[in-house]
A = this chain, B = another copy of it.
Amino acid sequence: MSAPNAAYTQLCSLLRDAAHLGAVSSLISWDQETYMPPSGASGRADQSSILAGIVHERQTSPKIAELLAACEQDADLTKPGSATAANLREIRRDYELATKLPKELVEELAKAGSMAQQVWKEAREKSDFALFAPHLERMFLLTRRKAECLGVPRGGELYDALIDEYEPNTPAAEIEKVFTPLRARLSELLKRVQADGNPPSEKPLLLKFEPEVQHALGLFVLEKMGFDLKAGRLDTTTHPFCSGMGPGDVRLTTRYRGEKWTDALYGTLHEMGHGLYEQGLPKDSHFGEPLGASVSLGIHESQSRMWENFVGRGKPFWKWLIPHARKILGKRIDRYDVKDYFFAANTARPSLIRVEADEATYNLHVMLRFEIERGLLRGDIKVRDVPAEWNRRVKEFLGLDVPDDRRGCLQDVHWSFGLIGYFPTYTLGNLYAAQMWEKINKDLPDLTKDIGKGKFGALKAWLNTNIHAHGRRYSAAELCKRATGSELSSEPLLRHLSAKIKTVYGV
């Protein structure tokens, strides 16, 4: 790294302060979900909004523009391929994104989104799409304006500008190229499963355990997998999440209310994947800078999916876990064996609700949303036709009839507050994870054996070195290529799912 000049140092220092305020923002949100007494809600809303305003003001301050421009004139700092050049490229990107949206539009989006979310709740409860439709219309109208302000990348479409916020430099057309073959072959795979598959029993997952012992199991697994509990926590919330609050403080949450005891366990593993990424980012030296931040939602999701699905739903994991689970959860665990648990954790069955979908069918849920939100932005699909478009695809992709909009196009909160372009990152995460997993197994030939013995150190070190340590130095696509040797493809995920289904369903 080039010797930093004064402007660069000051720029990083301003960004670090803004990031610290962002960390405080995250903390007060975490507190709201975990320990805040209910009557604190209204004051907390004010506090969040005041802090958000301060953070935005700092991120968009003219001082940043001035220092950034000075740094961009410096030949040392901008030397191609250097860490400082990457940092400056991404700081420029963030600054442009933050300053491109007029304040009025941001406020209008926030206000309309807050109202739409309220109406969505009611509409979902009543399964009444007509109630929600005008709000959805408005959110897409405002979001289209937002995309126009952000600017459509050359040769791209409006939707690209929205995706770019969550998954930089990943246009819809490229996503389509990966999604299309995936969809066809996943559907085919599922048809085979349904026609000739031998479905495993889910009973092993239905054992009942007290939340306290489940929590103890979660903490045990976190510690063994290398999540640093001196620099993190595990708590309970309505919806599981991971929040990286700044250096040395990454908080995970899960819930112990699912029908299956493994819901909490897999929730913990999923959030831990996010958490290991956050703990692995070089925050000591680069907190607040792009070099110390995660590269994209897709890569973030790849980390959570890897630990949840590729590690946690594998047979070696169950082989290792069971004797420990027996000590923590009790003798009831003995009712089933490794194969029973492994099979039960790997069912593949089309269902209506995305968040309850299994590893194989989950991506089909994502793809239908990708098509519909893209169509809405292009104007190929009208808001009033969303239920019909939704239901047609559920039939086509998953073979199911949607009984009502509650279990159809009203199930997700995302669109109601303007999260458009976000859904594809879920499947991108699965694809990245599968591709990394193949490379990791090549690089670490003993991995299966290691996991069976509860040794996760080499896997974590691989992720630390090849993914986490880079922050935003490379784009997600470049990072994928550097780490795995090839461009993103749907083949590894398909190979993984086919093999799993062959083992579990015998087809």
A: which residues have CB within 8 A of B? 17, 20-21, 23-24, 27-28, 31, 35-44, 46-47, 50-51, 54, 228-233, 235, 245-249, 251, 287
Partner of A17, one of B37, B50, B233: B50
- The interface residues of chain B lying within 8 Å CB-to-CB of A40 are 231, 245-249
A46 to B28, CA, bound (A): 16
A330–chain B nearest beta-carbon distance, Å = 21
A42 to B230, CA, bound (A): 13
Chain B, Cβ-Cβ closest to A228 = B39
- The interface residues of chain B lying within 8 Å CB-to-CB of A249 are 36-37, 39-40, 43-44
- The interface residues of chain B lying within 8 Å CB-to-CB of A23 are 43, 47
CB–CB A37/B247 < 8 A: no
The verdict on A37 contacting B233 (CB below 8 Å), with A24-B47, A47-B23 known, is yes
- The interface residues of chain B lying within 8 Å CB-to-CB of A54 are 54
Chain B, Cβ-Cβ closest to A247 = B43
A-B contact list, 17 entries, CB within 8 Å:
A20-B43, A21-B50, A21-B51, A24-B24, A24-B51, A27-B27, A37-B230, A37-B231, A37-B248, A37-B251, A38-B231, A39-B247, A39-B248, A40-B247, A41-B248, A43-B245, A43-B246
- The interface residues of chain B lying within 8 Å CB-to-CB of A21 are 47, 50-51
A216 to B261, CA, bound (A): 28
Partner of A20, one of B47, B235, B248: B47
A114 to B235, CA, bound (A): 33
- The interface residues of chain B lying within 8 Å CB-to-CB of A39 are 228, 230-231, 247-249
Copies of this chain per assembly: 2
- The interface residues of chain B lying within 8 Å CB-to-CB of A27 are 27-28, 31
CB–CB B230/A43 < 8 A: no
Partner of A246, one of B20, B47, B228, B246: B47
List the 7 closest pairs (A to B, CB-CB), nearest first: A39-B248, A40-B249, A39-B231, A43-B247, A43-B246, A40-B248, A20-B47
Chain B, Cβ-Cβ closest to A20 = B47
A15–chain B nearest beta-carbon distance, Å = 13
**Residue of A39, A230, A287 ringed by the most chain B CB atoms within 10 A:** A39
The verdict on A42 contacting B233 (CB below 8 Å), with A24-B47, A54-B54 known, is no
Chain B, Cβ-Cβ closest to A17 = B50
Chain B, Cβ-Cβ closest to A18 = B50
- The interface residues of chain B lying within 8 Å CB-to-CB of A247 are 39-40, 42-43
The verdict on A230 contacting B47 (CB below 8 Å), with A28-B24, A28-B27 known, is no
A438–chain B nearest beta-carbon distance, Å = 34
- The interface residues of chain B lying within 8 Å CB-to-CB of A31 are 27, 31
